[in-house]
Amino acid sequence: QVQLVESGGGLVQAGEPLRLSCVGSIFRANAMHWYRQAPGKQRVLVATITSGGSTNYADSVKGRFTISRDNAKNTVYLQMNSLKPEDTAVYYCHADFGWRDYWGQGTQVTVST
């Protein structure tokens, strides 16, 4: 069993940065993902980082968000810059081990105008 704990969410103004963290036993994960779910909408993939360090981003966040992982600290990060009100959502960490996967409990990010 792998427990993922997200932190770093909060209320910020448009244009400000925020960094999310996800702590858990992730060093053997094939890939780590950040998803987000806005009110009344489906959960969508925001960013991915593989065990080899390759990254991928949703078009809506490219150039603004950066995903990274520190296996020594069992942590994956999501650096979010130039935040927009449409980035408001609950952000979830997701660990993909191939044979099963795990979700964190989510952290709320609210971006005001």
What pLDDT, in 10s, does the model give residues 68-83?
999 899 999 999 999 9
CA distance 4 to 106: 9
Residue 71: predicted pLDDT: 87
Residue 1: predicted pLDDT: 86
Residue 24: predicted pLDDT: 94
Residues in the chain with pLDDT < 50?
none
Give kind and range of the element (H or E) at residue 79.
strand 75-80
CA distance 69 to 14: 26
CA distance 56 to 45: 10
